[in-house]
Amino acid sequence: MVITLLWRLFALIFLGIAFVGLILPGLPTTEFVLMALWCSAKGWPQLHRWLLHHPRFGHMIQQWQQHRAIPRRAKVIALVSMTISCYLLFLSGLPLWVKCVSSSMMVAVLYWLITRPEPSSITS
């Protein structure tokens, strides 16, 4: 019972962060929706079904689950968001090592993201 409640709590937290990411540039949405989906699969079947059939996220989630595919639009948004984030990061007063490590991590994630297939390039 407690474990189920924890999975539900994590699913709600990740879903909340994902919806905030719809508004704030630089905060990813898709990753948090996928984490909410994973958590809901562990302890909240109704939420899991809702996410799979959601009008905005459902198709993207299904493409990811079936083909590990990411739409080009999502890749472009991630590229723009990470570029802006890196620029703002280097304007901040943070130590240089923090700026370099953070930027390097964003570049690594961006490389991984860009190398994922796109739904249109997948043969049925």
* Domain layout of the chain by residue ranges: 1-67, 71-124
Mean pLDDT along residues 106-111: 90
CA distance 14 to 117: 25
Name 5's Cβ contacts closer than 8 Å, sequence gap at least 6.
Answer: 43
pLDDT band at 121 (very low <50, low <70, confident <90, very high): low
Closest CA to 62 of 51, 74, 73, 76: 51
28-53 pLDDT, tens digit per residue, is: 787 788 899 999 999 999 999 999 99
More confident residue, 78 or 28: 78
